[in-house]
Amino acid sequence: MFKKALPLILAALITLPGLWLGLSGTHLAPPPAALLSGLAILGASFLLLWACDVAQMDIPQTLALAVVALIAVLPEYAVDMYFTWQAGKNPGSDYAHYAIANMTGANRLLIGVAWTSIAAIHWFKTRRRVFLNQDQRTEVLFLGMATAYAFFIPIKGTLAWYDGLVFFSIYAWYLRLASQRPCEECELEGPAELIGALPRNRRRWATLGLFLFAAGVILANAELFSENLVASGKVFGINEFLLVQWLAPIASEAPEFIVAIMFVLRGQAAIAMGSLLSSKLNQWTLLVGMIPAVYGAASGSFETPLPLGPYQLHELFLTAAQSLLAVALLASLSLGPGAAILLFFMFTGQLVSPYVLDALNLDLPWGNGTDGAHQLFSAGYVALFACVVWMKRRDVWDLRRGTAVEQRII
């Protein structure tokens, strides 16, 4: 029992310094303040994840799908929505750039690191590909739909309120189909199993308490973490855009990633990959869709969309291009080592290529630095997508069946 309770205790303890910092108004130097608040968000993310697992025992499935999906990504939403809100309140500031950086980084990390790690671990453990369940074709299809629409944002150069409506509609349609799936008995592990074994009333109160405490910690630390992360970049001379894009999502994505790894180590690769696929769909629809809504509310008008420069538009295009290739590779409802290596190679390539080009003093015809390298990799993703679609054209065509609810045989 203590073994199952220990992770719960540790997760709660690491939230306390950040919570005290956020509520007391104590001022620390940016690096330690960012560290403490980031750890608080990390601990709260674990608490939310366990609470979400237990909640599915007591909430009707349709409601659980909607509520749990939103709550599970609250840490990522809190940071990104803070940057977006500040962008609306401070026109002309860098906050709009930070909002796009955080969103694109979180989405690219899921595919480039999380998906590929699950496929790699499963391959080394079993020498087999990761296979999804047939009804998870729905997630792949709707991720493809959201990705297809996402290309319109960099093409037209704006992320407006009506784009948010489209993304919300895509997720609502998916949620409607997913809610019609047959109910399955949820399997709880670790702290979630410990809480789930409590009598009904105590279990519900414990779950509610975890939700409220974790949400309070995240909301109390969102501003603290976001601002001090940017300030830490200036202290150490690190590009704050890169810190916001890659370091900030790690605190919110890590718990789900760790749980997915635990599932695949137990031989449940389909569950691990399915959870990360659902997370990607959630972030590529709801998270992106909320940005223009929050910006409009903060600025007091929905007529002027979130300002995006060429660099941010290229980042959005790169993120959409990566998602497009991932959908094509997953069209067969499996992910093997070759596909995982390709996704990881492209992800790491777009990270290190700007520094390689700079070290070699090479010039690209369309631009140098990170922006030029990212445009090159965007073209590479699209070209690879075309090749994969041709090789898997039957599987891609079969994705249309994702709008039908299939009865899973258990």
Q: In sequence order, what are the residues at sequence separation of 6 or more whose Cβ sits closer than 8 angstroms to the Cβ of residue 381?
A: 318, 321, 322, 324, 325, 346
Q: Would you say 80 and 99 are in contact if contact means Cβ atoms under 8 Å apart? A: yes
pLDDT band at residue 387 using 50, 70 and 90 as cut-offs: very high
pLDDT of residue 186: 59
**What is the reported pTM?**
0.87
pLDDT of residue 46: 86
pLDDT of residue 163: 96
What class has domain 2-401? mainly alpha
pLDDT value at 410 more than 50: no
Domain boundaries, the chain: 2-401
pLDDT band at residue 334 using 50, 70 and 90 as cut-offs: very high
Report the alpha-carbon distance of residue 203 to residue 234 in Å, rounded.
45
pLDDT value at 249 more than 80: yes
The CA distances from residue 299 to 83, 90, 95, 97, 223, in Å, are: 13, 8, 13, 16, 18
pLDDT digits (tens, 9 = 90+) for 259-316: 788 788 888 898 889 888 988 998 999 999 999 999 999 999 998 898 899 989 999 9
pLDDT band at residue 218 using 50, 70 and 90 as cut-offs: confident
pLDDT of residue 185: 58
For residues 338-344, average pLDDT: 96
pLDDT of residue 409: 42
pLDDT digits (tens, 9 = 90+) for 165-211: 999 999 999 988 887 776 555 567 778 888 988 898 899 899 889 98
Cα angle 239, 242, 248; round to 5 = 120
pLDDT band at residue 140 using 50, 70 and 90 as cut-offs: very high
